[in-house]
A and B are shown apart, each in its own frame.
Chain A
Amino acid sequence: MPDGKSEVLQGTLDLLVLKTLEALNPLHGYGIARRIEQISEDLFRLHEGTVCAALLRLSQKGWVSSKWGASENNRKARFYSLTKAGRKQLCRETTNWERVAGVIARLLQAAPQR
Chain B
Amino acid sequence: MLSYLRTFVSRIRATFQHANTDRELGAEVQSHLEMLAQRFRSQGMCEEEARCAARRQFGGVTQLKEDLHERRGLPQLEIVWRDVCYALRQLRNAPGFTAAAVLTLALGIGANTAVFAVVDAVVFRPLPYPEPDRLVSFASWVTRGTPHADDLSYPNFFDFRSGNRVFEHLVCYRGEEFSISGHGEAIHVDGEIVSWDLFPLLRVQLELGRSFLPAEEKPGTHVAVLSHELWQNYFGGDRNVVGQGVTINGRTFTIVGVAPRDFRFPVDNPSVQLWSTLAEDAAASEYHPLTEQRGARTLSVIARLKDGVTVEQARAQMDSIAAALAAQYPDENKNRASTYILPELERVAGDSRRSMFVLMAAVFLLLLIACANIASLVLARSVEREREVAVRAALGASRLIVMRQLFTEGLVLGLLGSLAGLLLASACLRVFLPLAADSIPRISLAVVDRRVLLFSIALALFTSVLFSLAPALQVAKVDLVRSLKEGARSITGGRERLRSVLVSGQIALGLMLLSAAGFLIAAFVQLERRDLGFKPDPVLTFNLDLPQGQYNTAKGIRFSEQLLERLRALPGVQSAGAGWPLPMQGNQVSVSFDIEERRVAQPDRPRSDMAIVTPGYFRTLGIALLEGRDFTDRDDAQAPPVLVVNQAFADKFFPGERALGKRIEPGASNGDGAKLREIVGIVGNAKQSPGGTAPDPIYYFPFKQLSWGLGSIVLRTAVPPRSEESAARAVVASLDRRIPVYQVRTMEELSARAMAPPRFLMLLVGSFAVIALLLIAIGLYGVLAYSVIRRTPEIGTRIALGASRSAVLSMVIQRAARLVFAGLFVGLAGAIAESYFLRTLLYGVMGVQPEGTSLLFLASGAIVIASGMAAYLPARRAASIDVMQALRTE
Contacts and interface: CB of A to CB of B under 8 A. Distances in A.
Interface of A: 28-30, 33, 47-50, 52-53, 56-57, 59-63, 71, 73, 75-78, 85, 89
A60 B32 contact: no
Given A28-B31, A30-B32, A60 B6 contact: yes
B760 to A, nearest CB: 60
Contacts of B64: 49-50, 52-53
Interface in B1-47: 2-3, 6-7, 10-11, 24-25, 27-29, 31-32, 34-36, 38
Contacts of A71: 31, 35
A9 B587 CA distance: 91
B81 interface: no
A62 B36 CA distance: 27
B35 A75 contact: yes
Interface in B108-138: none
Nearest to A62: B6
Contacts of A33: 32
Nearest to B61: A49
Contacts of B27: 76, 78
A63 B38 CA distance: 30
Given A56-B68, A56-B71, A48 B57 contact: yes
B59 A48 contact: yes
A59 B10 CA distance: 9
A9 to B, nearest CB: 17
A59 B2 CA distance: 13
Interface of B is mostly: helix
A113 B7 CA distance: 47
Given A47-B57, A48-B57, A53 B31 contact: no
A57 B31 contact: no
A77 B36 contact: no
Q: Which 9 A-B pairs have the closest CB atoms?
A: A47-B59, A49-B59, A49-B64, A61-B3, A62-B6, A30-B35, A60-B7, A60-B10, A48-B58
B29 A52 contact: yes
Contact of B32 (A52, A57, A85, A89): A52
A73 B38 contact: yes
Nearest to B30: A76
A79 to B, nearest CB: 11
A31 B531 CA distance: 101
Given A33-B32, A78-B27, 17 more contacts: A30-B32, A47-B60, A48-B59, A49-B60, A49-B63, A52-B64, A53-B64, A53-B71, A60-B6, A62-B2, A71-B31, A75-B31, A75-B34, A77-B32, A78-B28, A85-B2, A89-B3
A31 B291 CA distance: 97
B59 A50 contact: yes
Interface residues of B, number: 28
A46 B71 CA distance: 20
B422 to A, nearest CB: 40
Interface string B45-82: 00000000000011111011001100110000000000
Contact of B31 (A30, A56, A60, A89): A30
Nearest to B5: A62
Interface of A is mostly: helix
Nearest to A50: B59
Q: Give the one of A28, A48, A57 with max B CB within 10 A.
A: A48
Nearest to B6: A62
Given A49-B64, A53-B64, A61-B6, A30 B71 contact: no
Contacts of A75: 31, 34-35
Contacts of A49: 29, 58-61, 63-64
Contacts of A48: 32, 36, 57-59
A60 B71 CA distance: 10
A60 B72 contact: yes
B34 A57 contact: no
A62 to B, nearest CB: 4
Contacts of B11: 60
A62 B3 contact: yes
Contacts of B68: 52-53, 56
Contacts of A50: 59, 64
Contacts, number: 76
A31 to B, nearest CB: 8
Contacts of B71: 53, 56-57, 60
10 contacts: A30-B31, A47-B58, A49-B58, A49-B59, A53-B67, A56-B72, A60-B10, A60-B71, A61-B3, A63-B3
Contacts of A85: 2-3
A78 B57 CA distance: 19
Nearest to B7: A60
A61 B7 contact: yes
Contacts of A56: 68, 71-72
Contacts of A28: 31-32, 35
A57 B63 CA distance: 16
A60 B63 CA distance: 19
A78 B31 CA distance: 9
Nearest to A78: B28
B7 A52 contact: no
Contacts of A59: 10
B28 A29 contact: yes
A76 B3 CA distance: 29
A59 B72 CA distance: 10
Q: Give the one of B10, B28, B61 with max A CB within 10 A.
A: B28
B27 to A, nearest CB: 7
Nearest to A29: B32
A63 B3 CA distance: 9
A14 to B, nearest CB: 12
A77 B27 CA distance: 8
Nearest to B56: A47
A29 B3 CA distance: 22
A76 B71 CA distance: 24
A56 B57 CA distance: 19
Nearest to B34: A75
A60 B28 CA distance: 16
Nearest to A76: B31
A107 to B, nearest CB: 31
Nearest to B54: A48
A69 B855 CA distance: 85
A75 B874 CA distance: 75
Nearest to A34: B39
A34 to B, nearest CB: 8
A24 to B, nearest CB: 15
A32 B32 CA distance: 11
A76 B34 CA distance: 10
Nearest to A73: B38
B225 to A, nearest CB: 61
B34 A52 contact: no
Contacts of A73: 38
A73 B6 CA distance: 34
Contacts of B29: 49, 52
B130 to A, nearest CB: 46
A88 B159 CA distance: 76
A30 to B, nearest CB: 4
B63 to A, nearest CB: 8
B36 A30 contact: yes
A52 B63 CA distance: 12
Contacts of B6: 60-62
B28 A77 contact: yes
A17 to B, nearest CB: 14
A82 to B, nearest CB: 14
Interface in B311-344: none
Contacts of B58: 47-49
A77 B61 contact: no
Nearest to A51: B32
Contacts of B72: 56, 60
B520 to A, nearest CB: 63
Given A60-B11, A63-B3, A52 B28 contact: yes
A28 B36 CA distance: 12
A68 to B, nearest CB: 8
Nearest to B72: A56
